[in-house]
Amino acid sequence: MIFGEKLKELRQEKNIIQRDLAKILNVSQPTIADWERGVMETDFETLVKIAKFFNVRTDYLLGLED
């Protein structure tokens, strides 16, 4: 669930709605919602895209560092 919490936090800090982030990552809005709720996890390639977009390390997104 850490990934979803971090993703939601980063998205909200940038004032980006789920729909817009979905377009940036080339996924659907329900996919973003599922990630944030911890219902589904992302693949490695998309995890790297998310990290690059938010300028954070993948370890941060995965809860391995603060």
- Is 48 within the bounds of a domain? yes
pLDDT at site 28? 97
Place of tokens 């390639």: 45
The answer to whether residue 52 is domain-embedded is yes
CATH number at residue 17: 1.10.260.40
Q: Distance between CA atoms of 56 and 54, rounded to whole angstroms?
A: 6
Residue-level pLDDT at 34: 97
Is 22 inside a domain boundary? yes
Query: Each residue of 5-62: pLDDT tens digit?
Result: 999 999 999 999 999 999 999 999 999 999 999 999 999 999 999 999 999 999 999 9
- Give the range of the structural domain holding residue 31, as residue numbers without chain letter: 2-61
In this prediction, residue 1 has a pLDDT band, given cuts at 50, 70 and 90, of low
Give residue 65's pLDDT: 78
What is the domain count for the chain? Answer: 1
Within a domain: 21: yes
What residues contact residue 47 under an 8 Å CB cut-off, 6+ apart?
Answer: 58, 61, 62
Whether 66 is covered by a domain: the verdict is: no
pTM, 2 dp: 0.91
